[in-house]
Amino acid sequence: LGLMFWLNTELALISIVILPIFLFSSVSITKRIQKLARQKRKSEGAIASLAVETMSAIKVVKALSLEGMLENSFTTQNEKSLQEGLKSEQLSAGLQRTAQLLVSVATALVLWRGVQLVMQQIITVGDLLVFISYLKTAFKPTRQLAKQVSQIAKATASGERVIELLDTVPDIRDSRGAIEAPSFKGKVRFKNVSFGYQEGKGILSHLSFEAESGQKVALVGPSGGGKSTLVSLLLRLYDPLEGQILIDGHDLREYKLASLRRQITIVLQDSVLFGVSVRDNIAYGLLGATERQIIAAAKLANAHEFIMRLPEGYDTILGERGSTLSGGQKQRIAIARAAIRKAPIVILDEPTVGLDNESERSVTEALDRLTEESTTFLITHDLRTATTADQILYIEKGEIVERGTHQELMRLQAK
Ligand code: ADP
């Protein structure tokens, strides 16, 4: 550009009149491409979550014959995303065309005026040719920029999504001054605890109870009463809105999250196993577990024998979510994973529901061993499975409506 001005100021000024037009159109088109790229990211997210949801619930999908319906929504989402992609390609191609056109217009104008200047013998033909070749070189980056604009816009939109995620601050994190939790004895106390997931919609209201170290507490009551919510609070997946939860006399929030959760172990109704070897599935319970610990945990969980009968023993890779095992076998591996932690607090969320009698016996036996010394919270909707509990809390609509031992509650029921 400098050389062009040095060669001939008038021609140089003529060539750069197109620049503002180019800048204006590229800024406006970039904005539109960016908007489309953002939408496209969102629809791609929707496609991915629809696919994951459908695949992970494939049995239900087939049983309810939802394939057609879900395929349609998948197609619709895909088409939407395709349209957005096409639109942004169109815009970007448009910008490239504009850039080409503007450069050609500038060249034509320069030629037109240049020829006049040559005729008036102000410049020579050689000067004009040299000028035109500089003009081409000077505008090359402009054309390239037009090509890159859509790439840059798309990258910006993706970057925004990543930054959004990275900037998310979890609600529950270590409080300032949180300390590493000491080894718990396992005394748990809920003190006037209230909680709700959304504002104005209370789930638990003013719950208070105490569990001594090593006690078994059964949480019973109709579904939706708030039993799972209660144990989520103990794991500090949420913080109570009011009141306090204490372990060995100290508020959970005084401890570092990881050091608290390391000392609580959990077995769910439908335990999630990972698509790795049986050995790793058990070892996930304790970072750096040794072979001996893994086998001891499997034996405790009544799982060692059937694991040895698997084609590759402890090295057998499980299908997705443990689909290659029976329900009872899955549960026993989950119990081994829970047992390897040797945690002073154990949470069992309906761990035997859906098992046949034979499996249930084996799983119950494993659970008894797992919970022998720990403070245990057993969620169950069946009062019969709570016969051995030291105390039973009957929870309905977020309140403890009855409490006592099995006998005491039976007596109440009889009245
Ligand atoms: P229970 O374990 O006794 O069946 P839950 O603790 O699972 O009861 O549920 C208690 C109430 O909290 C229910 O009304 C349920 O809809 C609601 N709930 C549970 N989890 C969530 C959540 N993550 N977000 C919003 N509401 C929830």
Tell which one of 228, 232, 238, 395 to mutate to probe ligand 1, the residue whose CB is within 8 A of the most ligand atoms: 228
**Which atom belonging to ligand 1 lies closest to the Cα atom of 349?**
2
Mean pLDDT of successive 10-residue stretches along the chain, which has 415 residues: 91 89 87 88 90 91 93 94 91 88 92 94 93 90 81 86 87 87 93 90 91 92 90 93 93 92 89 88 91 93 91 85 77 91 91 82 86 91 79 91 82 71
Q: How far is the CA of 197 from the centre of ligand 1 (A)?
A: 8
DSSP string, 260-313: HHTTEEEE-TT----SSBHHHHHHTTSTT--HHHHHHHHHHTT-HHHHHHSTTG
Query: What pLDDT shows up at residue 42?
Result: 87
Span from the CA of 228 to the centroid of ligand 1 (angstroms): 7
pLDDT in the model for residue 408: 80
Q: Which residues lie closer than 8 Å to 193 by C-beta, 6 or more apart?
A: 204, 206, 207, 208, 233, 240, 242, 243, 244, 245
Token match 């410049």: residue? 123
Tell how far the Cα of 202 is from the centroid of ligand 1, in angstroms: 10
Q: What tokens were used for 194?
A: 């209230």
Phi, psi of 277 (to 5 degrees): -70, 160
At residue 415, the pLDDT reads 65
The pLDDT, as a whole number, for residue 74 is: 94
User: Do 248 and 185 form a contact (C-beta atoms < 8 A)?
Assistant: yes
Pocket test for ligand 1, best of 198, 219, 229 (most atoms within 8 A of CB): 229
Query: What Cα–Cα distance (Å) separates residue 204 from each residue in 225, 290, 377, 381?
Result: 8, 41, 17, 18
Index of the ligand 1 atom closest to the CA of residue 197: 25
The residue written with tokens 């750096």 in the block is 288
The atom of ligand 1 lying closest to the CA of 379 is 2
pLDDT of residue 147: 81
Q: What is the pLDDT of residue 234?
A: 94
Q: Whose CA is nearest to atom 15 of ligand 1?
A: 224
Torsion from C-alpha of 311, 316, 321, 324, nearest 10 degrees: 0
Query: What pLDDT is stored for residue 384 in this prediction?
Result: 72
The pTM of this model reads 0.72
Q: What residues line ligand 1, using a CB cutoff of 6 Å? A: 197, 203, 223-229
